[in-house]
Amino acid sequence: MEMNLETISAVALGVGLSASAGFRVFIPLLVAGLASHFDMLPLGESFAWMGSLPALICFGVASVVEVLAYYIPFVDNLIDSIATPLSVCAGTLLMTSVFPAENEWMKWIMGLVVGGGTAVTIQSGTAITRLLSTKFTAGGGNPIVSTGEGVAATGFSIMSLITPILVAVIFVGFIAVFLRFVYHRLRPNSQ
Q: Could you read off the pLDDT of 70-104 as tens digits, one per residue?
A: 998 778 878 888 999 999 999 999 999 999 888 99
- Is 111:92 a contact under the CB 8 Å cutoff? yes
Is residue 100 in some structural domain? yes
The per-residue pLDDT for 48 is: 93
Give the model's pLDDT for residue 190. Answer: 45
* CB-neighbour burial class of residue 9 (10 A; exposed 0-12, middle 13-18, buried 19+): middle
Q: Is residue 132 part of a domain?
A: yes
The answer as to whether 155 is a domain residue is: yes
Structural domain including 80 reads 5-186
CA neighbours closer than 13 Å in the CB half-sphere of residue 68: 6
Q: How many domains does the chain have?
A: 1
106: in domain: yes
pLDDT recorded at residue 22: 95
Does 182 map to a domain? yes
Q: What is the pLDDT of residues 1-12, one digit of tens each?
A: 456 888 889 999
Ranges of the chain with pLDDT below 70: 1-3, 189-191
Q: What is the pLDDT of residue 2?
A: 55
Classify residue 191: in a domain, yes or no.
no
* Alpha-carbon span 165 to 78, nearest angstrom: 33
* pLDDT score of 189: 64
Look at residue 53 in the predicted model and tell me its pLDDT: 97
What pTM did the predictor assign? Answer: 0.88
Taking the C-alpha atoms of 176, 145, 155 and 8 in order, what is their torsion angle to the nearest 10 degrees?
A: 20
